[in-house]
Amino acid sequence: MANTETSLKDTMTIEGAIGAALVDYTSGMALGTIGSSKELDLNVAAAGNTDVVRAKVRTMEMLGLKDDIEDILITLGGQYHLLRLLKGRGTNGLFLYLALDKARANLAMARHQLKRIEAELEV
């Protein structure tokens, strides 16, 4: 099992990774970040993407959908933003946020690797 710091370091080995965060979507706070830059404030991204996750969870409840969200993809002109909701023991209410450079990233591989990182994460 990997801790938060190790898991975040692993996300930065994903081809095209710009930055990553482990986020508590009940509070909107980042529990850990890696790779922040002037162009990407990970604390602001954590708070903003919390609203996205909450909206989708609320919409699924209103629709009566009894399913789990694996991930949410936001595609920008030059970046992919992946939000992976965690389902492991002790991770309820958390998601991994990963920003990728669209020109360098392989989206399918990034999703696969993020799923592996989630499985190894121990919070």
pLDDT category of residue 72 using cuts at 50, 70 and 90: very high
pLDDT, residue 89, reads: 62
DSSP letters spanning the chain: -B-HHHHHHHHTTSTTEEEEEEEETTTTEEEEEE---SS--HHHHHHHHHHHHHHHHHHHHHHT------EEEEE-SSEEEEEEE--STT-TTEEEEEEEETTT--HHHHHHHHHHHHHHB--
For residues 4-20, give the mean pLDDT.
Answer: 95
pLDDT category of residue 24 using cuts at 50, 70 and 90: very high
Dump pLDDT digits (tens) for 75-119.
999 999 999 999 866 667 899 999 999 999 999 999 999 999 999
User: What is the 3-class SS of 10-24, one letter each residue?
Assistant: HHCCCCCEEEEEEEE
pLDDT, residue 76, reads: 96
Residue 44 has pLDDT above 90, yes or no: yes
